[in-house]
């Protein structure tokens, strides 16, 4: 279970902090009570991690006046996201002191993570991280294992970079050179480009050589010839001639194939 709590100042009866807690914490100390313990540690000079001094000094002011911090539980939720949403709603309703919008000492807009942090919070985070080594230092990022790196090293060993010793703008080796007609024909059509022989009809004309003027064998035959026999289309004599030609072609084809 998650709950949203409000810390109130009994001196002026105004809320000064809104937070989210979780029931049955392992530490045995509920979240709202931890703020009071942190304030006492601050007075004793103990080191705290990124303390909200405005909040802690408000708590110390209440304790010095002989009073106790008023703790109100605003709502209970089974879902953590709903608790964070209610926290953000209450912070926006009461207003943050560092933004000049209200009495709250919250340094962010609430919710999970740091949302809209104050300049003081940004400075604290920056100073705490300054001088630290990266958490990724010495770790392998991506699929490059030691074996993979060794294989890459072996494959590139002994190679000289193409631009070694060269400076400035490099001129392409083929700048100003042109191909002859014979070289272009031997290259063939480049990928994705128009073939050099597109639109030429030499091959087509050679393939038609000897057939010019020969009528089509289907000339005069109606288009609805499907299902008709040779006799019905060409007559008995022509049908016998066509069948004989067909038989001879098949015989020649199978004889050549058996030889191969």
- Looking at the chain, the whole-number percentage of residues with pLDDT higher than 70 is 69
DSSP code of 183?
A: H
Average pLDDT of the chain, as a whole number: 77
- Sorted by where each begins, the domain ranges of the chain are 2-125, 230-260
Q: Which is more confident, 202 or 5? A: 5
Whether residue 211 is predicted with pLDDT greater than 70 in this model: the reply is no
Residue 252 DSSP SS3: helix
- Looking at the chain, the whole-number percentage of residues with pLDDT higher than 90 is 8
Whether residue 60 is predicted with pLDDT greater than 80 in this model: the reply is yes
State how far the Cα of 120 lies from the Cα of 247, in Å rounded to an integer.
Answer: 100
Q: Determine the pLDDT at residue 28.
A: 47
pLDDT tens per residue, range 90-133: 999 999 888 888 999 988 888 765 555 666 666 766 766 676 67
Nearest to 55 by CA among 121, 125, 154: 121
Nearest to 18 by CA among 117, 81, 111, 101: 111
Q: Which is more confident, 210 or 82? A: 82
pLDDT tens per residue, range 7-44: 999 988 899 999 888 876 554 457 778 888 888 888 88
Q: Which is more confident, 192 or 89? A: 89
Q: Determine the pLDDT at residue 218.
A: 60
Q: Helix/strand/coil (H, E, C) string of 197-237?
A: CCCCCHHHHHHCCCCCCCCCCCCCCCCCCCCCCHHHHHCHH
Whether residue 187 is predicted with pLDDT greater than 80 in this model: the reply is no
pLDDT tens per residue, range 194-204: 777 777 765 54
Q: Determine the pLDDT at residue 209.
A: 53
pLDDT tens per residue, range 226-251: 567 778 777 888 888 888 888 898 88
State how far the Cα of 94 lies from the Cα of 162, in Å rounded to an integer.
Answer: 66
């Amino acid at each position: 279970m998650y709950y949203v709590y409000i810390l109130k100042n009994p001196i002026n009866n105004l809320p000064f902090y809104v937070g989210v807690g979780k029931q049955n914490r392992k530490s045995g100390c509920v979240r709202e009570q931890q703020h009071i313990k942190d304030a006492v540690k601050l007075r004793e000079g103990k080191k705290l991690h990124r303390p909200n001094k405005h909040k802690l000094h408000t708590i110390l002011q209440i304790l010095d006046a002989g009073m106790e911090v008023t703790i109100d539980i605003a709502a209970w939720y089974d879902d953590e996201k709903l608790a964070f949403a209610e926290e953000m709603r209450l912070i926006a309703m009461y207003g943050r002191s560092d933004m000049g919008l209200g009495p709250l000492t919250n340094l962010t807009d609430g919710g999970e993570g740091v949302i809209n942090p104050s300049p003081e919070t940004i400075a604290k985070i920056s100073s705490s991280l300054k001088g630290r080594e990266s958490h990724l230092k010495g770790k392998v990022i991506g699929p490059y294992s030691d074996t993979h790196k060794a294989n890459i090293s072996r494959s590139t060993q002994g190679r000289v970079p193409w631009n070694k010793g060269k400076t400035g703008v490099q001129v392409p080796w083929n700048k100003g050179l042109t191909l002859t007609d014979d070289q272009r024909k031997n290259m063939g059509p480049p990928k994705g480009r128009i073939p050099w022989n597109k639109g030429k009809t030499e091959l087509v004309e050679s393939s038609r050589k000897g057939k010019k003027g020969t009528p089509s064998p289907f000339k005069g035959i109606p288009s609805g010839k499907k299902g008709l026999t040779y006799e019905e289309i060409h007559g008995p004599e022509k049908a016998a001639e066509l069948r004989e030609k067909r038989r001879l072609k098949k015989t020649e084809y199978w004889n050549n194939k058996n030889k191969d």
